[in-house]
Structure 1
Amino acid sequence: MNSTSRAAAPLVREPRHAPVAHLIRGGVIEGVHYGSVVVLGADGTAAFQLGDAEAAFYPRSALKPLQAVAMARAGLPLEGELLSLAAASHSGEERHLAGARRILELAGLTEDDLRNVPDLPFDPAVRDTWVREGRPPSRLAQNCSGKHAAMLYTCGLNGWSLDDYLDPAHPLQQAVAQTVEELTGQPVAQVTVDGCGAPLFAVSLHGLARAAARITTAAAGTAEARVADAMREHAEMASGSGRDVAELMRVVPGLLAKDGFEGVQVAALPDGRAVAVKIADGANRARVPVAAAALARAGVDPALLTGFAGEPLLGGGEPVGCVRPADALSPAPLTACA
């Protein structure tokens, strides 16, 4: 499919998920995580699919690189750390808050102009510190504040209204929707509101993987390449210290990766190989090893991925099992399971 062709909108239906991960305790399958996985080859074709990669679903924060591309196309001049933050689900560390403040300063605005929901920092350790210090939830600490600050900056540069920048009919959100449809290659199936208050567009898992591939294979200097470069070069601004998605981008050369709430993961390599994952029950403990297994399916050296095989299951404080990708996805697990 070329960049101008479009598939039909994905169907809104109950996804036909399949088992993608097993909880193994003492050699017995204790539980099963269902979900869907798609792996694209460098030529854009689906090299592997498990579950339902074609039903409509909400990518949640995995959509942020596409939103950042739309803003860059609309004139957002940010680069480097600040552009990475514009595509971030950040942890609420001081550098993230400082970056969001800087974007607002460039726009001549303040935290009061943000319309995302006030929240405590996403990172548990940072959040605990805030609670101990008696700091209240704030719009700046909420994990999407970089994106919202960049949205306001983009609106100001284009002379668009600020108070209603989250309205799906607003010129900014119309530009985002157009970019989502172009990069995914399909019409948006449904529009709702994400947790932060921004419009959220339903596409297919296949479409999300296709969009990531188009971002990483775009020509140098394009909005897509600027976003990809910023996120890869400043992975901890796009997420946070110790976050698995940042570590993935550090250990896999050229990888662009973004996670999303409810068990979503997308990742793409510079040659167009891409993966997208949705865990049906939203479990992060399954998202990480399933995404790693999908990347191995895409041809990433398994030796680079052993650190993403999943957290052990404990019994009496000792490892007695693990969360392991289902055999249909990964017949040869990245690590042994007790």
Structure 2
Amino acid sequence: MTQSAAITEIWRGPFLESVHHGHAVVCDDSGQIVHAWGDPEAVVLPRSSSKMLQALPLLTSGAADAAGLGTRHLALACASHNGAAIHTDRVGAWLDTLGLGDDDFRCGPQEPEDIPARNGLILAHQSPCQIHNNCSGKHAGFLTLAKHLGAGPEYVDPDHPVQKACLDAFETATGLDSPGFGIDGCSAPNFATTLHGMARAMARFAAAPDGSPEQRLHQAMRLHPDLVAGEGRACTELMRAMDGKVAIKTGAEGYFIAIIPDLKLGVALKANDGGTRAAECAMAAILVRLGVLDATHPATLKRLNAPILNRRNLQAGWIRPGAAFA
């Protein structure tokens, strides 16, 4: 097995203080590896980076069109959002059209990452609801599909028709049988695959023809980066920095993907230690290397060769791409 690669380094003054290792793959639309760092065949849970795969049955089944879903709904179905009003208001309206409510979710409550939303709950002496969960858009999509299929309410059960459809879509897109799944933070099954398989799936999205389910999903993400994550988040800021030409999506524990339609390329990346700072830096380095992200853009500089500031706001070090990208 190929060893993992040094993808991100932490420097303090002249000293290399920490190193994050991981794996990354860039695939073309034929499924061939264009670039690889570490082990392309490492089997990893992609976590929320797989949300566009989990959203595929929503379109292929006809459920999205039957429910009159637009691009904002599709972006939310792929989102790990901050729980801001722009997210929860839209998910709430989506539930209303289904004749459903917060109790129909199976994702669990979550305190919003959005500070105004969090402060609003505190001032109102209210607790977070399931609609605040960063995956509530994905779960609204699951509920839409379950209603369309006439299936039961326990849509996160691995044997439920919704999750069987998700597994079929996942394996078809990656070109591999999944060796299994783990239960995600939102209680849905999260299917494992190789980095190569995930990059291949993202390349298939990138090369998909206009109007296809894959194209509609990545187009929705590119049109609405604010809905995919939120203010201050890497996904939102870097998609804006690339003028909506590339779709990117983070996942828990240091996973990250990119869909690059102009180049018909897909990217999958995993930081072994689950470090978000490592995954964001490494993904920015790959996007710059591929020529789709400006290395001097402020959103890039927050993550690539980014300064580490101390409590007096003095620069003490840098977060830099690892030796693998030299």
Normalising by structure 2, we get a TM-score of 0.91
Aligned to 2:307: 312
Aligned to 1:7: none
Over 4 Å off, 4+ runs = none
3-state DSSP of counterpart to 1:48: strand
Change over 3 Å in CA distance of 1:260–1:125 after alignment to 2: farther
The amino acid of 1:151's aligned partner reads F
| Number of aligned residue pairs | 316
Distance in 2 (alpha carbons) for counterparts of 1:103 and 1:63: 22
Give, in angstroms, the shift of residue 279 of structure 1: 1.0
Residue-by-residue CA offset, 1:201-236 (whole Å, 9 max, x unaligned): 001111111111111211111111111111110111
Give, in angstroms, the shift of residue 294 of structure 1: 1.2
The amino acid of 1:221's aligned partner reads G
Residue-by-residue CA offset, 1:171-203 (whole Å, 9 max, x unaligned): 111111011011111111111210000111001
Aligned to 1:214: 204
Aligned to 2:282: 290
Match of 1:70 among 54, 57, 60: 57
Change over 3 Å in CA distance of 1:301–1:120 after alignment to 2: closer
3-state DSSP of counterpart to 1:140: helix
Match of 1:119 among 110, 113, 125: 110
Distance in 2 (alpha carbons) for counterparts of 1:20 and 1:73: 36
- Please list, as runs of the form range in 1=range in 2, the aligned pairs for 1:73-84 lying within 5 A after superposition: 73-75=60-62, 76-77=64-65, 78-84=69-75
Normalising by structure 1, we get a TM-score of 0.88
Give, in angstroms, the shift of residue 306 of structure 1: 5.9
Give, in angstroms, the shift of residue 43 of structure 1: 5.0
Aligned to 2:324: 328
Give, in angstroms, the shift of residue 304 of structure 1: 6.0
The amino acid of 1:210's aligned partner reads R
Aligned to 2:10: 23
Q: Which moved more, 1:300-309 or 1:265-274?
A: 300-309
The amino acid of 1:203's aligned partner reads T
The answer (yes or no) to whether the contact 2:28–2:200 under 8 Å persists in 1 is no
The answer (yes or no) to whether the contact 1:19–1:32 under 8 Å persists in 2 is yes
- Please list, as runs of the form range in 1=range in 2, the aligned pairs for 1:190-205 lying within 5 A after superposition: 190-205=180-195
Change over 3 Å in CA distance of 1:121–1:83 after alignment to 2: same
Change over 3 Å in CA distance of 1:222–1:41 after alignment to 2: closer
Aligned to 2:292: 300
The amino acid of 1:227's aligned partner reads L
2:179 matched to 1:189? yes
The structure whose residues are more often helix, as a share, is: 2
Match of 1:226 among 208, 216, 223: 216
The amino acid of 1:297's aligned partner reads R
The percent of aligned pairs where both chains have the same amino acid is: 37
Distance in 1 (alpha carbons) for counterparts of 2:320 and 2:204: 30
Give, in angstroms, the shift of residue 41 of structure 1: 4.0
Match of 2:235 among 236, 245, 256: 245
Give, in angstroms, the shift of residue 16 of structure 1: 4.0
RMSD: 1.9
The amino acid of 1:235's aligned partner reads P
Stretches of structure 2 that go unaligned for 5 or more consecutive residues are none
Distance in 1 (alpha carbons) for counterparts of 2:293 and 2:102: 43
Distance in 2 (alpha carbons) for counterparts of 1:187 and 1:141: 33
- Please list, as runs of the form range in 1=range in 2, the aligned pairs for 1:142-181 lying within 5 A after superposition: 142-162=133-153, 164-181=154-171
Match of 2:272 among 242, 255, 280: 280
Q: Which moved more, 1:104-113 or 1:171-180?
A: 104-113
The answer (yes or no) to whether the contact 1:166–1:173 under 8 Å persists in 2 is yes
Distance in 1 (alpha carbons) for counterparts of 2:296 and 2:213: 29
Distance in 1 (alpha carbons) for counterparts of 2:292 and 2:31: 16
3-state DSSP of counterpart to 1:237: helix
